[in-house]
Amino acid sequence: MFKDDENSLARRNLIILILAQATVGNQMVMIFIIGGLAGQSLVTNPCFATLPISLIVMGSMLSANPLSLIMQKYGRRVGFLLGTLGGASGGIIGCIGLYLSDFSIFLIGSFLSGIYMSAQGFYRFAATDTASKGFKPKAISYVMAGGLISAIIGPQLVKFTSSSLIIPFLGTYLTVILLNLIGAFLFLYLKIPLPRPEQNKNYGSRSYAQILKTPELLVAIICAMVAYALMNLVMTSTPLAVVGCGFTENNAADIVSMHVLAMFIPSFFTGHLIVRFGNIKIITAGLLILSVSGTVALSGISLANFSIALVLLGIGWNFGFIGATSLLANSHAPEERGKIQGLNDFVVFGGVTVASLASGGLMNCAGSSAASGWNAVNFAMLPFLILAGLAILFLSQNNRKII
């Protein structure tokens, strides 16, 4: 897995980031499984059932730029500790909302949980900070692979905790608080030097408009946003669709578990594929797999359809998102990372926020049944896929060499 001494510090940090993905990262899996169901239990209008998840994503979007700039100035450790603080605070307020049966308070907790989600999004960039150029795609891939453990443990924690107390889902949110405390301990051992002062004034002084005129950066941001938005659009509605079509909450947890496994298992080789075939081919493969996922979902509502569609959704997300992240990481100078990575995640989670908000409305209010709502969710993938396809075509026409 790791061989060269050149990346010894990168390996040390990578181990910590993988452990963080595998432990504190469980909270995102858990919340995405039960967030819509908990919301549905607290709100009278089912159209707003997935609003807690949408608030998480919105919190992530709004905190992306501030967190990135804080990390640029004070270091990754400070930013990641702030993330665990947000996650723990969200868990505490979520518990209060559930205890009082107050949807508004529950939404505030969800919004604060978004701070953790945003911080977790920077793990992949932190993995590249001390890595050599050739090791960066593999480092991104390995740290994303850490999510494999949370894909296994997270759904099991939901099964164990969701009904463990008299108030449904309260035990799950208490577990979320504990996970963030573990994460705070892990990040004390992270060792990433502060970025150097701006060395290249041509890069350091670039405005956001100039950055977005760089084809590689623009396409990387668009494709990362599309991959993540589509994954969120479909996954957010999956538990509601599975239960609404007559299956159980445990069936929903198992399907989401398979989905999250599919999101992270490919990470063991995605970096190697990028090194061999290039970012653009891997991103394109991801987009094609996402389109097949939608086709399978639209072809039926059996457990097999749900399972296969969600597995393909996870694989497509992995190829599209890691490919876009690698393209972004190799398309800017180190002194730009605070500005560009913050902009990237602001746009990515902005798209995810729109997808998440649309998901609940489409699922619960676009038809007369769960099946018709589920079809509406999957038909909504099409415009996103077209946007990403046009972005890839645009980059190809620029005839630029992509590493």
Q: Which helix (H) or strand (E) holds 120?
A: helix 103-121
Spell out the SS3 assignment of 63-77. Answer: HHHHHHHHHHHHCHH
Nearest to residue 360, comparing CAs of 32, 138, 75, 124?
Answer: 32
pLDDT of residue 194: 78
Angle at 271 between CA 269 and CA 400, to 5 degrees: 140
Mean of all residue pLDDT scores within the chain: 85
Lowest mean pLDDT among 103-112, 233-242, 283-292: 233-242
| Rounded distance between C-alpha atoms, residue 160 and residue 155, angstroms | 9
Lowest mean pLDDT among 101-115, 196-210, 301-315: 196-210
pLDDT of residue 3: 52
Q: How confident is the model at residue 196 (pLDDT cuts 50, 70, 90)?
A: low
Q: For the chain, what are the domain ranges?
A: 10-191+208-397
pLDDT of residue 36: 78
Lowest mean pLDDT among 23-32, 294-303, 358-367: 358-367
pLDDT of residue 94: 93
pLDDT of residue 314: 94
| Rounded distance between C-alpha atoms, residue 185 and residue 162, angstroms | 26
| Rounded distance between C-alpha atoms, residue 102 and residue 291, angstroms | 39
Angle at 395 between CA 392 and CA 396, to 5 degrees: 85
pLDDT of residue 2: 47
Q: Look-up: residue for tokens 């902005």? A: 350
The mean per-residue pLDDT over the stretch 110-119 comes to: 93
* DSSP letters for 156-176: HHHHHHTTSSSSTTHHHHHHH
- Distance of CA 224 to CAs 216, 228, 319, 346, Å? 12, 6, 10, 11
Percent of the chain past pLDDT 70, that is, above it, reads 94
pLDDT of residue 265: 86
Residue-wise pLDDT for 4-45, tens only, equals 566 788 888 999 999 998 889 899 888 888 887 888 888 877
Q: State phi, psi for 135 to the nearest 5 degrees.
A: -90, -15
Residue-wise pLDDT for 123-178, tens only, equals 988 888 888 777 888 888 888 778 788 878 888 898 888 888 888 899 999 999 99
Residue 306, C-beta contacts closer than 8 angstroms, at least 6 positions apart: 238, 241, 242, 255, 297
The mean per-residue pLDDT over the stretch 280-299 comes to: 94
Check whether 245 has a pLDDT greater than 50.
Answer: yes
pLDDT of residue 309: 95
Lowest mean pLDDT among 12-21, 286-295, 391-400: 391-400
pLDDT of residue 90: 95
Burial classification of residue 113, based on how many CB atoms lie within 10 Å of its CB (0-12 exposed, 13-18 middle, 19 or more buried): buried
* DSSP letters for 37-51: HHHHHH-SSGGGTTH
- Distance of CA 198 to CAs 195, 335, 337, Å? 9, 5, 11
User: 69-101 as b/e, with b when 16 or more CB fall inside 10 Å?
Assistant: ebbbeebbbebbbbbbbbbbbbbbbbbbbbeee
Residue 97, C-beta contacts closer than 8 angstroms, at least 6 positions apart: 42, 103, 104, 105, 106, 107, 108, 109
Amino acid identity for residue 65 in this structure: N
Percent of the chain past pLDDT 90, that is, above it, reads 36
pLDDT of residue 325: 87
Angle at 260 between CA 254 and CA 266, to 5 degrees: 130
The mean per-residue pLDDT over the stretch 339-347 comes to: 83
Check whether 401 has a pLDDT greater than 70.
Answer: no
End-to-end CA distance of the chain: 21
- Provide the 8-state DSSP code for 336: G
Q: How confident is the model at residue 243 (pLDDT cuts 50, 70, 90)?
A: confident
Residue-wise pLDDT for 69-79, tens only, equals 898 889 899 99
pLDDT of residue 205: 59
User: Tokens for 4?
Assistant: 């060269």
Strand, helix or coil for residue 217: helix
Domain 10-191+208-397 has CATH 3.30.1300.10: no
pLDDT of residue 198: 52
Q: Where do the H-state alpha helices sit in 299-380?
A: 303-329, 337-365, 370-379
The mean per-residue pLDDT over the stretch 198-219 comes to: 69
- Provide the 8-state DSSP code for 134: T
Check whether 87 has a pLDDT greater than 70.
Answer: yes
The 10 Å Cβ neighbour count of residue 253 is 23
Nearest to residue 154, comparing CAs of 49, 300, 27?
Answer: 27
